[in-house]
Amino acid sequence: MKVAPYHTATPEKEDPGHRDVYHDLSDCPDGLRIKVANRSAGMAGRPKCDYCKAH
Check residue 23 and give its pLDDT: 96
* Whether the Cβ atoms of residue 30 and residue 18 lie closer than 8 Å to each other: yes
Q: Where are the domains of the chain?
A: 2-54
The CA-based angle 8-17-41, given to 5 degrees, is: 20
Tell me the C-alpha distance between 14 and 45, whole Å: 23
pLDDT digit string, tens, across residues 39-55: 999 999 999 999 999 99
pLDDT (0 to 100) of residue 44? 92
Q: Are 44 and 24 in contact (CB under 8 A)?
A: no
How many residues would you count in the chain?
A: 55
Question: Of 29, 24, 32, which is closest to residue 52 (Cα–Cα)?
Answer: 24
Q: pLDDT tens digits for 1-44?
A: 999 999 988 865 655 666 789 999 999 999 998 888 899 999 99
Amino acid at site 9: A
